[in-house]
Amino acid sequence: MRDFCLLYQAIDQTTKTNEKVEVMQHYFARAKPADAAWAVYFLSGQKLKRLINTAKLRIWASEEANIPLWLLEETYEWVGDLGETLAAVIADSDADVQGSLCDWVEEKLLPLASMSDHEQQAAVKNYWKQMTSVQRFVLNKLITGSFRIGVSQRLLTRAIASVAKLSVESVAHRLMGNWSPTPQFYSDLIDPTKQSVANYLPYPFCLANPIESSVEQLGQSDDYLVEWKWDGIRAQVIKRDDELYIWSRGEERIEDRFPELVNLREDLPNGTVLDGEILAFKDGRPLAFAELQRRIGRKTIGKKLMADVPVEFVAFDCLEYDGEDIRQHPLSQRRERLQTIVEQASQAAIQVSPTIVASNWDGLEAMRQQCRQYEAEGLMLKPYSSTYAVGRTRGAWWKWKIDPYTIDAVLTAAQRGHGRRASMYTDYTFSLWDNGRLVTFAKAYSGLTDSEMRQVDQFVRQNTLDRFGPVRTVEPLLVMELAFENLQASKRHKSGVAVRFPRILRWRHDKKPEQANTLDELRRLAT
């Protein structure tokens, strides 16, 4: 546990990816498999089910710190991180944690779930006393299921691969899907002699990079396969050993959520893996993402919902054909395989993502401008000669997104942020004019520089009109240009419109609040 806390601290202290990889290598090279397995589990973002509700932890910490609960809450509001607040209000002694990570998780933390309140309280307070402030912080994060750390799956994979002397691709593949953090799992993970992976596991997804400069720099347009960039649920469909598995990019099994797709089990040959997007699709046209959203998160799908929002799998790549991993074959060949498979799958809700053809980049640009008619976010550009890469590899796939919608809105409320922005007012609510009144229409958290955030933070403190819990309404004085991807009528929103991915484009110092846009102007953007 001490080593794991040191690892956490070392990762937290650096912003440099090479250093993060180095400290992970250092850890994994020394850790026992039982501990390493749990470390992989936590570093890859997996969590223990919340073991104790945080209301109880707040009370116990305030008792240990000998402070009233309101003071703990005020402090938390300022610090912005509960695990940190609970750890830091307790004064440090010279205690230093003993015991391994595996023992802590399996013998101390997991059993908390089945204890009485009283036993939990005694146990947690006792654990806190055995630790330094940083160790308590890590412990609290584990207990509350909010452990987060600044390493990507890619960096973790790199570190393990270098310790195990395996390729990044094979470690990435072994880390896909659901696994239990057992010593056996870790030993298998780093075993260079082990060949196969479980048949239900997906391949690591290939991700696209945004076009940063002009598309002309990519060379000839006819070297690229061009498709719509769909706004749905990215998924891999696997048919092996007569079973069908559908995995989302978040590595969740989702075949149960989409009954329309179960026919694929009959229609696809064994030894097939397809990559594509699940879209709400009706009368030959994709529906807006907001429609598909109604199906996400529902475990049981009613008949009405299925009739209203039917889905299809829009396939764009074939990763395994006839039991063979063909990711290293050129895209042109993989597309032929895909075509063959989909043509044979006559019954199922599956189609090949249409190819967009134009004679040059200008022609494609014209198509890109029309993408919203197809509920797409732009175009995907994939070299015909490219292999199927692991993760966000440069030079493989490009996304050429449509320029976002933009509108000038007035900042009307703010709330304190979390993490790096904790203790500053960085979560903003924006409004537009409607018959002389400002109506809330979007929240945005990102887009300003650190220095601008500090200025807005000061502004909020000095121009507060009213406070509602953590939220402050402010004088409507600041105008910001917001960007967003899409808009959709909504009954749940006061403005009657829901916008997708709103973010701040820039601070319009040159505009007065009365020059901001109106709700009508927002609605007109969509037409």
Partner 1 sequence: MADENFSELLTLSSSGLYCPAGDFYIDPWRPVKRAVITHAHSDHARAGSEQYLAAASSEKLLRVRLGHDINLLAVSYGEIVTLNGVRVSLHPAGHILGSSQIRLEYRGRIAVVTGDYKLGADSTTESFAPIPCNLLVTESTFGLPVFHWPRSEIVFSEINDWWRANQSEGKTSVIYGYSVGKAQRILAGLDRSVGPIYCHGAVHVGNQAYLESGIDLPPSERISDIEATRGKQIDWHRGIVIAPPSAHGTPWLRRFGAISTAMASGWMAIRGTRRRRAMDRGFVLSDHVDWPELLSTIHQCKPEAIWVTHGFSSIVARYLSECGWNAKPLKTQFVGESSDGGELETAADEAVKTVKPESVEG
Which spans of this chain sit near partner 1 (rule: CB under 8 A)? 12-15, 65, 67-68, 71-72, 74-75, 78-81, 84-85, 88-89, 91-92, 133, 418-424, 450, 457-458, 461-462, 464
| Token output for 219 | 């060379």
Q: For residues 375 and 83, what is the distance between their CA atoms, to the nearest angstrom?
A: 41
At a CB cut-off of 8 Å and minimum separation 6, what does 244 contact? 237, 238, 255, 261, 262, 264, 265, 268
396 touches 413 (CB < 8 A): no
Bridge partner list, 486: 500
Select 421 or 443, whichever has its Cβ closest to partner 1. Answer: 421
Q: Which is nearer to partner 1, 461 or 494 (CB)?
A: 461
Task: Identify whether the C-beta of residue 81 lies closer than 8 Å to the C-beta of residue 103.
Answer: no
CB nearer to partner 1: give 74 or 514. 74
275 three-class SS? strand
Q: In the Cβ-directed half-sphere of 119, how many Cα atoms lie within 13 Å?
A: 9
Minimum distance between the CB of residue 75 and partner 1, rounded to whole angstroms?
Answer: 5
How would you class 391 by CB atoms within 10 Å of its CB: exposed for 0-12, middle for 13-18, buried for 19 or more? middle
Decide if 464 contacts 474 (C-beta within 8 A). Answer: yes
C-beta closer to partner 1: residue 275 or 457: 457
Least distance (Å) from partner 1 to the CB of residue 120? 23
Nearer CB in complex with partner 1: 466/510: 466
Give the CA distances from residue 169 to residues 154, 158, 295, 388, 391, in Å, rounded to whole numbers and listed in that order. Answer: 10, 9, 32, 11, 9
Spatial distance between the Cα atoms of 127 and 142, rounded to a whole number of angstroms = 13
CB of 82 or CB of 396, closer to partner 1? 82
Q: How far is the CB of 479 from partner 1 (least distance, A)?
A: 21
Nearer CB in complex with partner 1: 81/267: 81
How many residues belong to the chain?
527
Q: How far is the CB of 141 from partner 1 (least distance, A)?
A: 11
Distances (CA, A) of 168 to 68, 154, 155, 159, 300: 50, 8, 10, 9, 37
Contact indicator for 281, 310 with CB cutoff of 8 Å: yes
Q: From the CB of 19, what's the least distance to partner 1, in Å? A: 9
- Collapsing DSSP to helix, strand or coil, 381 comes out as strand
CB closer to partner 1, 138 vs 356 = 138
Nearer to partner 1, 226 or 504 (CB): 504
* Nearest distance in Å: CB 158, partner 1: 20
d(CA 15, CA 323): 42
Cβ at position 43, least distance to partner 1 in Å: 18
| Nearer to partner 1 among residue 370 and residue 458 (C-beta) | 458
Quickly list DSSP for 316-370: EEEEEETTEE-TTS-HHHHHHHHHHHHHH--SSSEEEPPBP--SSHHHHHHHHHT
Of 88, 202, 62, whose CA–CA distance to 140 is shortest? 88
Nearest to 424 by CA among 472, 475, 468, 467: 472
94-120 CB burial, b ≥16 within 10 A, e <16: eeebeebbbebbeebbeebeeeeeeeb
The smaller minimum CB distance to partner 1, of residues 455 and 518, is found at: 455
Q: What is the CA angle 410-411-414, rounded to 5?
A: 165
Q: In the beta sheet, which residues pair with residue 98?
A: none
Nearby residues of 448 by Cβ (< 8 Å), 6 or more positions away? 426, 456, 504, 507
Smallest separation, CB 55 to partner 1 (Å): 18
User: Which three-class secondary structure state does DSSP give residue 309?
Assistant: coil
**Shortest distance in whole angstroms from residue 466 CB to partner 1:** 14
Continuous segment of H or E residues that includes residue 230 = strand 224-230
Closer by beta carbon to partner 1, 68 or else 269 = 68
* CB closer to partner 1 out of 71 and 122: 71
Shortest distance (Å) from residue 160 CB to partner 1: 24
**Minimum Å distance from CB 460 to partner 1?**
9
Least gap, CB of 74 to partner 1 (angstroms)? 5
Considering the complex, what minimum distance in angstroms separates the CB of residue 290 from partner 1? 33
